[in-house]
Amino acid sequence: MRRADPIKVLFSLFVLPFPLLYTKTPFVATITSQVCRSNKSPWVCLTCSSVHCGRYVNGHAKKHYEDAQVPMTNHKKTEKQEKVQHTVCMDCSSYSTYCYRCDDFVVNDTKLGLVQKVREHLQNLENSAFTSDRHRKRKLLENSSLNSKLLKVNGSTTALCATGLRNLGNTCFMNAILQSLSNIQQFCCYFKELPAVELRNGKTAGRRTYHTRSQGDNNVSLVEEFRKTLCALWQGSQTAFSPESLFYVVWKIMPNFRGYQQQDAHEFMRYLLDHLHLELQGGFNGVSRSVILQENATLSASNKCCINGASTVVTAIFGGILQNEVNCLICGTESRKFDPFLDLSLDIPSQFRNKRTKNQENGPMCTLRDCLRSFTDLEELDETELYMCHKCKKKQKSTKKFWIQKLPKVLCLHLKRFHWTAYLRNKVDTYVEFPLRGLDMKCYLLEPENSGPESCLYDLAAVVVHHGSGVGSGHYTAYAAHEGRWFHFNDSTVTLTDEETVVKAKAYILFYVERQAKSGSDKL
C-alpha cells in the first residue's frame, strides 16, 4: 500500500481511550455495528473508534468512510486545518487492516510498530475474555454432544479428535481444501514428519505473531506454514485453529488470493499444490536442503510423473499422465502427446444439467462414470479448436481422445460446476452420484492389460462441496474419512456424520485414494 496519512491514526488509537478494548465480556461476540446492530464481521474505524459491519454484511463500514469524504459545509476551516480522513479500519475478528483510500489491505507497519502493538493488545484482551467461556464450552462438548454423537455412530465414547479451522473472512474455500488434504494420510504424514523451522525467536517465540512487510520475504515458507497447520489438526483440541500465518504466506506468494472475497476452492487447491511442489524442489527456510532433496530423490526413483522439474511428494501422490490423441479428419494423421496432471476436470454432460436432486424423476441419474466417460470419449473438435495438421500444413477438422497413461496414488476429480455465459458465471447444480468405495478406473487406461486386478480401484477419502448459486458467493464445506469414520468440516465446526449423508452431497471436488489391500466392495 502507498504511503497514506491515515496510518498515523493507529498511534492515536493506541494512546487515546478506546472503550471497546476494555470490555470484560467475550470480545468479538459483543461488538456490534452502531447502525444495524449486527455482530457479524465488525470493523472498527481507526480514526474515531466507531464500529460498523463489513462489506459482506451491510457495508456500513464503507459508508462511514464515504460519508467522511463529504465536505463539511456547516463548519469553517482555516487553511491549516485538514479534513479528518476515516480511511483505515481493522477487522475485529482477524485483525487485518484495510485502507479504503488505497482500496487495499495494509500489510506493512509503522516505524514504531503501532499496528503490531494494537493487534497484540486486542489479542491479549480476547484471550482473557474467552478463557472461561472456552473452558465451559469444552466441558459441555466433552460431557454431552460429542460423546452422544459417538455413541450413536459406533457405540463408543471415544473423544472427538478433529479440529476445525477458523474462518478469517470468506476463507471457507481454503479451510475445505486444507481439511481434505489433512485426511490424505500419505500426503499429510510427509509434511508432518518434516523438521520444524523456527521462524521466530527470542521474546516472541511460541506466541501468536503477525507478519509485516518490514520482515521481508526471507521468512516466508509455504511448506513450513502448511506443515504447522497440518500438525495442528487431529490433535484433539476443541478450539478451532486459526490459520492466519498460512493465509499471510498465501497472500505473499499468491496475489490472486489477497483480500477477503470468496475464491474458488479448486483454483486455490491447484495454486497451493503447484507452489508446494516448487518450494519442495529447492528446500525452504532453514531446513537442510539435503533432507528435502534426499526425500525428493526417493520419490523421483519411484515416480515418473514430474511437473516443472524433479518429482516431489505432490507429484508422487497426485501426479498422473494423460495421453492426448488428435486425428486429422482430412488426411488421417495422428498426433500423440503425453501431459502430466494433478487432477482431472470433468464436465457434467449437458443432458443431465437440469437434474438437480437425487430423487428428481426426469430421466436417468447422472453418475461419476458418465462424467469420466464424457472426458475420455472420442470428441470432434469444433470450429474454434481446429487442429494444425503438420501433413496438411494448415488447420483442419479433427477428433480428440484422452487416455490415462498412468494413474496417480490419489485421484483428484474436479466437477465443472461453474460455466461462463455472456454476462455472468452460472452454477450447474446437478446431483452427480459417486461411489464411496471401489471406483474402477481400469476401462479408462491406455494399457489396462498391464494393470493388476486391484491396482485401478479407488476409495473415497474426501469431498469438497460448494453451497450456493455462484462462485463469488456461497459457502464451502468438506466431508472426509478418518480412521473409518466420516466427518463434516464446516470451518470451526466439526461433526460426525454417516455415509448416507456423504453420498447425498453435491460434490465439487472428489479425492479418491488408491486401494492398497483387497476388500469386498462393489465396483462403479
Tens digits of residue pLDDT in 263-287: 899 999 999 999 999 988 875 443 4
> Average pLDDT in the 470-484 region?
85
The pLDDT value given to residue 53? 83
- Are 136 and 26 a contacting pair, CB within 8 Å? no
Contact criterion met (CB below 8 Å) for 300 and 284: no
What are the C-alpha distances in Å from 286 to residues 216, 253, 279, 282, 442? 15, 18, 13, 12, 43
CA 441 to chain centre: 27
d(CA 241, CA 238): 9
How does pLDDT run across 5-40, given as a tens digit for each residue? 444 444 444 433 343 433 333 455 456 777 887 777
Q: Is the pLDDT of residue 466 over 60?
A: yes
Proportion of the chain above pLDDT 70, given as a percent: 66
Choice among 99, 172, 305, 456 that is catalytic = 172
Within 10 A of 402 (CB to CB), how many other CB atoms are there? 19
- In the structure grid, which three cell numbers stand for residue 504, read together? 447425498
Contacts of 261 (CB under 8 A, 6+ apart): 170, 472
Which pLDDT does position 92 carry in this prediction?
Answer: 76
Active site (annotated) includes residue 60: no
User: Is residue 227's pLDDT more than 60?
Assistant: yes
Confidence category of residue 160, pLDDT binned at 50, 70, 90: low
* Res 269: pLDDT: 96
Specify whether the CB–CB gap between 309 and 319 falls below 8 A.
Answer: no
The answer to whether 433 and 359 have CB atoms below 8 angstroms apart is no
**Residue 456 known to be catalytic:** no
pLDDT exceeds 80 at position 201:
no
CATH 3.90.70.10, the chain: domain bounds: 166-196+220-279+309-353+365-518
Q: Which of 480, 411, 414 is nearest to 442 (CA)?
A: 411
Q: How far is 42 from 44, CA to CA, in rounded Å? A: 7
Query: Architecture of domain 6-70+84-130 in CATH?
Result: 2-Layer Sandwich (3.30)
Cβ distance 385 to 397 under 8 Å?
A: no
Q: Where are the alpha helices (DSSP H) in 233-309?
A: 244-253, 265-280, 289-302
pLDDT confidence tier of residue 67, bands split at 50, 70 and 90: confident
pLDDT number for residue 99: 84
Rg (CA), the chain: 26
Task: Yes or no: say if 461 and 512 are a contact pair by the CB < 8 Å rule.
Answer: yes
Cα 220 from Cα 216, distance rounded (Å): 8
Choose, from 36, 231, 467, 475, the residue flagged as catalytic.
475
Residue 240 banded pLDDT, cuts 50, 70, 90: confident
Spelled out in words, what is the top-level CATH class assigned to the domain 166-196+220-279+309-353+365-518?
alpha beta
Q: How far is CA 82 from CA 45, 69, 79, 448, in A?
A: 18, 12, 8, 76
Q: What is the mean pLDDT of the chain?
A: 75
CATH 3.30.40.10 domain extents, the chain: 6-70+84-130
Q: How confident is the model at residue 290 (pLDDT cuts 50, 70, 90)?
A: very low
Chain segment 315-369, per-residue pLDDT in tens: 999 999 998 888 888 787 788 888 899 999 999 998 887 766 666 556 688 999 9
CA atoms within 13 A on the CB side of 326: 16
Question: Which residues contact residue 75 at a Cβ distance below 8 angstroms, ignoring those fewer than 6 apart?
Answer: none
The pLDDT of residue 271: 94
CA–CA distance, 240 with 171 (Å, rounded to integer): 14
Question: pLDDT band at 221, cuts 50/70/90?
Answer: confident
pLDDT digits (tens, 9 = 90+) for 376-435: 888 777 777 787 888 888 888 888 888 888 999 999 999 999 877 666 668 888 999 999
